[in-house]
Structure formats: structure tokens, C-alpha cells
Amino acid sequence: MTEWATRKPAALCAMAAASMILFVHTAVVGQDPEAQVEERQDVMESFGASSKALPADGRQGSGTGGDVRRAAAVIRQGAERLPGLFPEGTGVGVGDSKALPAIWEQPEDFAERIRTLQAAAADFSSAADGGDRETIARSFAELGRACGGCHEQYRERDD
């Protein structure tokens, strides 16, 4: 067999993979905006529930080391999904979205907020694995600031 002939299947395979990626991407973009708002709010709810499951300072006092690690894992995984959860056209006015237009007016700053959360979630996660109470408390407070900082700018307040 020539070299080309042996390579051909691999090239075809790569093309098939590329068109699948394109298809998946289109499917996500074509998703119903209200469903996207709900999906995003579910992720945020999982953050809220995980944070509330811990004592205010993130210490293990009333919980166990396992609770802290579980909460940290939920937040870290959810934070990784955030960049894909704010497509344009899902702001205030769609379903019960509280996402302010500023998100799409200042996309770079918004992306930075997400990165800040991801970094804080990763730190909290390592602290949770390490098990040192002081470090857990400090990184939990930092995580809370990453949540609050973004809400302050980009989430409509409940009045």
C-alpha cells in the first residue's frame, strides 16, 4: 500500500470528527433560549446549594471533610461550564433571566470574572483536599468574593 492509502482513513476520520463537532456546536447554539436560562440557573443553584451546605466560613465544624470536598468539586466543575452558559439572547426578558445586558456589552470583563471564579474554585478545591481549616476558610471567603463580585455587576437585583 502507498503511504497515502494508509493515511487516508485517518484523514477521513478527522473530517468526520470535525463535522461532528460542528454539528454539536450548532445544536447548542440552536437551543431554546429559555432552556438555556434554566440550565444556567440550575448550575448557579448548584453553587448556592453547595455553598450553603457549608458553615459560613467554610470550616468543617458542622460538616465533614467529605462535605467540603464534594461542594468544592460541584463548584469547580460548574465553573468550567460557565463560559458556554451565557449565549447572547438569554438576558433579562427571556424567561426569568436576571442576566444583565452588561454581560454582552463588556464580554472581556465578564470572561475575566469567570476566570476569577475558576481560579478561586480550583484553590478551594485544593484546600479541601489538603484539609487545613485555615486554608479552607480563607479560600472559601475568596470564592464568595468571586461570586459576589460578578453578581454585583452582572445580575439583576431582586427588589
Binding site for ligand HEC (CB under 6 A): 37, 40-41, 44-45, 47-48, 51, 75, 97-99, 113-114, 117, 143, 146-147, 150-151, 154-155
Q: Residue 34 or residue 134: which is nearer to ligand HEC going by CB?
A: 34
* Minimum distance from residue 152 beta carbon to ligand HEC (Å): 10
* Minimum distance from residue 3 beta carbon to ligand HEC (Å): 49
**C-alpha distance from residue 83 to each of 72, 108, 117 (Å):** 18, 11, 11
Q: Please list, residue by residue across 2-18, b when 16 or more beta carbons sit within 10 angstroms of its beta carbon and e when fewer do.
A: eeeeeeeeeeeeeeeee
Q: Residue 70 or residue 151: which is nearer to ligand HEC going by CB?
A: 151
* Minimum distance from residue 13 beta carbon to ligand HEC (Å): 37
User: CA-CA distance, 159 to 138, in Å (whole number)?
Assistant: 31
Ramachandran angles phi, psi of 127, nearest 5°: -60, -40
Q: Residue 21 or residue 107: which is nearer to ligand HEC going by CB?
A: 107
